[in-house]
Amino acid sequence: RTLTLDREVTLPEKGTSTVNLINGSGKPVSVDVTGQPSPDRIQISTLPDGVVEHSIWGLALPGLRRRLFRCVAIRENADGTFAITAVQHVPEKEAIVDNGATFEPLSGSLNSVTPPAVQHLTVEVSASDGQYLAVAKWDTPRVVKGVRFSLRLTSGTGENSRLVTSAITADTVHRFSGLPQGEYTLTVRAINSYGQQGEAAITTFRINAPAAPATIELTPGYFQITAVPRLALYDPTVQFEFWFSEKRITNTAQVETSARYLGTGSQWSVSGSHIKPGTDFWFYVRSVNLVGKSVFVEATGRASNDAEGYLDFFKGEIGKTHLAQGMWELIDNSQLDDEMAEMKTTITETRNEITQTVNKILEDQSVTIQQIQRVQKETDDSLSALYMLKVQKTKNGIPYVAGIGAGIEDVDGQTLSNILLQADRIAMINPENGNTTPLFVAQGNQLFMNDVFLKRLFAVSITSSGNPPAFSLTPEGRLTARNADISGNINANSGTLNNVTINQNCRILGKLSANQIEGDLVKTVGKAFPRNNSYASGTITVTVYDDQGFDRQIIIPPVLFRGARHEHQSSKDHTSTWYSTCQLQVQMNGRVIFHEPATDVTRVFSSVIDMPAGRGHVTLTFNVWSNGVNHWTPTTYISDLLVVVMKKSTAGISIS
C-alpha cells in the first residue's frame, strides 16, 4: 500500500494527514497516510478498489481547515478548459438561515420561478455567399419573469467534442453565423433570475454534403417506371436529383453529359410510349442539400410486363379518342327509308363532315352501311380527323356491328394516330395461288395465327399443342417438357433425376448420400511378389498420385511372410538344423518404414498411411529377398500384396 506521487510532499510531525483518491467508480475516497518512506512516496491505511496509475490525488494536512464555496457560474473555454466563479461559504449566514431568516424577495407573480423546460427546439441551416447560417428556435410551456436562455454549441462527438460558441439570450430565437462544415450539437437551458438552470433540450444538425441514397425502389407501371430513393437515416433537408438513360453508363462521372436530367424531388416517374415493356432503363440518383451533392447511385428497372393489365390500360386509352366513341355509336336508322342511298355534307365553323349512308329494311330486320369522313376543331384549338366505315344489321331488335376506322388527334397533349377494327371475327387472307387459309384470325378474345417469327416474346404462360401438351410454362415458373436437349448451364436448387448419364466430370461440393455406388471412390491394386522357384525375391513399387482435392488414406492389409526350418543329416548318427530366412523391407518415398526378417515363425506387415491433399505423390517400395546358410537354396513364402486407397472421413464413425 505504498503510493508514488508525481511531486515531493512534506508531512507534519504531528497529526494525521489524509490523501484523496479516485476509485474505480469515479468517486473521491479519502484514506489516512500512515508513513512516508521518501519525499515522493507515501504509505496509506487501505488502497481503494480501482485506483489506476496517473490518476488525480489530493493531500489534506491536519493543520488546514476545510473551506466551502458556492458555485455561481461555470464557463467552458475554447481550449477545453473551464472557468469557475464561486463565493466562499460563511457558516454564520447558514446559522441565521437555520433560525428562520430568509433573504429571498417575494415573487411578483403567482407562478413558480422554477426555470421552464425548453421544448420544440429546431435548427434551420441556410447558406449565403459561401457562409452557413444556423437559426435555432424553441419555446417554453409557460412564461417566467426574467427568464433567460443559455445556449451551448459544440462540434464533433464523444471525446472529440469541442465548444464552438456559447451565448445568453432572452429571446427564443438565436442565429449562429460563419459556421464551417461539420456535425453540431446545440444545448439550450432556461435560467431564472436566481441563476437556477432548467432541464436541457438538445438537438443535433449537420452542415455537410448529404449521404448517397441507401436504396432506390423502382416500381413498374404501364409504359412507366417510378423511382423512389431512400436514405439510411431520414433527413428532411435532403432532396434527390434524378437522371435517366436508356443505356447503362459504366462511368458515373459521365452521367451529367450522357444521361437526361429529369429534375429534383423526393421521387420521379418516367412514362411514355418509349418506356417499352421488356427493356431495361437506368436511373442515376444522388442526394442534394444546400451544402453539396452525393455520388450517383445506379438503379435499373423495367416497365410492367402484365399483358392482361396492358389490355385494360389500352381499353381506357382507346376509349378517350373520338374515333373509338364514333365506332361504338350505333347507326340510328329509325328515320331512314326502307330502301335508300344518300350523301350528306355538313360544314360548320368547327367541323367539316361527309356522311354516305345505304339502308334496306325487310320485315323485322334492317341493314345499314355508313361511311363518315370528318375533320374538326377541338376546344383546345387542335385539329382532328377520322374516317369510319360501319356496317350494321339489326335483327329482332338486336344490333350487330362491324367497322373499320382511322383517326388522328391530340390525346393528353400528344398527337396520336389509331386504326380500329370492330367485328366478331377479324381475319387476314392471302389468296395467292388459290390459298384461302387465313394468315390470322381473331375471335372470342383469342388470336389464331399461322407461322410466326418473333424477335422477342413476353408471355405469362406458354403451352404447346397436343393433349396432353408436350411443353408448358406456367405463371408460377413451372416448366414441363417431355424431352429436352440443353447445351448450356442448368442451375437448380432441388429436383429428381432418373436414369441420368454424366458423360464428363462431375464435382459435388456438398454431401453425397447413396445406397449403392459403382466406381473408383475406393481404389485397390494387388500383385504377387516375384519368386525364384522355391523362394521369394524381387521388388514391387506402388505410386499413389496426388490428384484429388481431399485427404486420403492408404491401407495395406496384412502381408504374411516366413522362412523355413530344415534338418540335415551330416552323418549316420548326427542330424543338424538350419534355417531359410525371408526379409521384407518397405520404403515410403525412399524412407524405410518397415524391415523385418522371418525364419520358421510367420511375420506380418500391415499399415494405414495418411495422405493429405496437396502434399505430393506417395511412392511405396516393397523389397523381399531370401537366403539360406552355406549358400544353400532357401525355401520361403510371402502372401500377395494388396493396397487400398480411400477418402479419409470420420462421418458416421465413432472411436474411443
Span 251-306, pLDDT tens digits: 999 999 999 999 999 999 999 888 988 899 999 999 999 888 999 999 999 999 88
- pLDDT, residue 106, reads 54
Record: fold of 119-207: Immunoglobulin-like (2.60.40)
CB 283 within 8 A of CB 213: no
Mean pLDDT of 125-142: 87
CB 472 within 8 A of CB 461: yes
Amino acid at 347: I
Alpha-helical segments (H) within 30-128: 91-98
Span 550-582, pLDDT tens digits: 889 999 999 999 999 988 777 777 778 889 999
Distance of CA 605 to the CA centre of its chain: 60
- pLDDT, residue 254, reads 94
Span 384-400, pLDDT tens digits: 999 989 888 888 888 88
Q: Which residue is listed with cell 537366403? A: 627
Looking at the chain, the domain(s) classified CATH 2.60.120 span 522-647
C-alpha cell at 45: 491505511
Count the Cβ atoms, other than its own, within 10 Å of residue 45.
13
- pLDDT, residue 476, reads 84
Mean pLDDT of 79-94: 79
User: Is 240 exposed, middle or buried, given 0-12, 13-18 or 19+ CB atoms closer than 10 A?
Assistant: buried
Of 644, 387, 430, 621, the C-alpha closest to 520 is: 644
Count the Cβ atoms, other than its own, within 10 Å of residue 306.
16
For residue 100, is pLDDT > 70? no
For residue 620, is pLDDT > 90? yes
For residue 490, is pLDDT > 60? yes
pTM tops 0.75: no
Residues 6+ apart with CB under 8 A from 619: 541, 542, 543, 544, 588, 589, 590
When the pLDDT of each residue in the chain is averaged and rounded to a whole number, the result is 86
Count the Cβ atoms, other than its own, within 10 Å of residue 330.
11
Q: Which helix (H) or strand (E) holds 66?
A: none
Q: Is the dihedral of CA 30, 31, 32, 33 positive or negative?
A: negative
User: Is 605 exposed, middle or buried, given 0-12, 13-18 or 19+ CB atoms closer than 10 A?
Assistant: buried
Distances (CA, A) of 543 to 238, 397, 593: 71, 99, 16
Q: Give the C-alpha separation, 448 to 466, whole Å.
A: 16
Q: Give the C-alpha separation, 387 to 420, whole Å.
A: 10
Mean pLDDT of 203-232: 93
Mean pLDDT of 157-182: 89
DSSP 99: T
Span 19-31, pLDDT tens digits: 899 888 888 899 9
CB 319 within 8 A of CB 311: no
Distances (CA, A) of 499 to 73, 510, 550: 90, 21, 28
| DSSP state string for 250-318 | S-GGGHHHHSEEEEEES-EEEESTTS-TT--EEEEEEEE-SS-B---EEEEE-----HHHHHHHHHHHH
Record: fold of 215-305: Immunoglobulin-like (2.60.40)
User: What residues form DSSP beta bridges with 568?
Assistant: 576
- pLDDT, residue 111, reads 56
Count the Cβ atoms, other than its own, within 10 Å of residue 409.
20
- pLDDT, residue 333, reads 59
DSSP 213: P
Looking at the chain, the domain(s) classified CATH 2.60.40.10 span 119-207, 215-305
Record: fold of 522-647: Jelly Rolls (2.60.120)
Residue length of the chain: 656
User: What residues form DSSP beta bridges with 360?
Assistant: 339, 367
Amino acid at 321: T
How many Cα atoms within 13 Å fall on the side-chain side of residue 563?
22
- pLDDT, residue 233, reads 87
Q: Give the C-alpha separation, 554 to 557, whole Å.
A: 10
For residue 101, is pLDDT > 80? no
Between 590 and 196, whose confidence is greater? 590
Mean pLDDT of 493-500: 87
- pLDDT, residue 446, reads 82
**Range of lowest pLDDT (306-310, 337-341, 342-346, 472-476):** 337-341
341 — pLDDT class (breaks 50, 70, 90): low
- pLDDT, residue 195, reads 84
Q: Give the C-alpha separation, 547 to 160, whole Å.
A: 59
